[in-house]
Amino acid sequence: MKTLSLFIVTSLLFLAFSCKTDDEDETKNIIGQITSASDCKSFLKSTNYTADTISSITYSYDEMRNELYIKHSNAGFNCCPESIYIDQSYANYTISIVEMESTPQCHCNCLYDIEMNFKEVLPRSYQILIKEPYIGEQEELSFSIDLANKTTGTISVTRKKYPWGIVNGNTEDLPTEITDASSWEDDSQLLERILNEIQALSAQYTCDEAGDWTFTAYGSKACGGPVGYLPYSTQLDTKNFLDKVEFYTTQQDLYNVKWNVMSDCSVPLKPEGIICDGRKPVFYYSE
């Protein structure tokens, strides 16, 4: 009887230890990293994008390799991060992903697409929690997946606060100019919105005849001079377009002074003219 009791206790201890070891091993083995990240996105250069009021996750699971692939469309980061990376942890069947950046260098934020890969992920149910640096009180990306029964899926949330919603969101409550009382976030959002409007006016025309296109300088570097040059079709309302460009340049100059912005002092090369390539305006330069 004592021998049987000892056997049962020993067996239970072995099972408990085995379960704990498996869970600990899994915790240690799930390893995630970013495999690619886009540049800061311009929503007006292409129609092939997720609307900037949507932050979405698309996942797929490779059962043979035990690898989970996650793409985060419209992740918010600084406009000029030195690098983008994640800090990942696992506990109680929850994979927590903290999206991070190093050395933000600009007074603005924007949206990126990032792709992540997680290895040693077993085919079972998990809770996925994405923590992002700039969402504030907006809804988090938190969802459940069952990789034993469904290996692909998409989850999305709606966001309309900066840096989301610049193009597709409601801008009625946004400030219309930089003032002493406006915040850095409001000022940054205003500049991005005006530039998006200018680019949208230009993008509504295709380049079929180079003679129908010209260009103008835009923006104000903190060190002096324009930020660059913008092409535009002479078929649009040129006065309205150039007034917007001038307003943007004036507002950026105010922004630079107000927020003590620093910039390089390089001078952008002035184009010689425009050619049409693939029905798009392309600058050419003298040699």
Per-residue pLDDT of the chain (287 residues), as tens digits, is 444 444 444 444 444 444 444 444 444 589 999 999 988 875 544 445 678 889 999 999 999 999 999 999 999 998 778 899 999 999 999 999 999 999 887 767 889 999 999 999 999 999 999 999 999 889 999 999 999 999 999 999 998 887 887 766 655 556 688 999 889 888 888 888 788 778 777 877 889 999 999 999 999 999 899 999 999 999 988 998 999 999 999 999 999 999 999 888 888 999 999 999 988 899 999 87
pTM (2 d.p.): 0.59
Beta-ladder partners of 118: 32, 68
pLDDT the model gives residue 32: 94
pLDDT the model gives residue 282: 93
Question: How many angstroms separate the CA atoms of 113 and 171, rounded?
Answer: 23
pLDDT the model gives residue 41: 78
pLDDT the model gives residue 172: 53
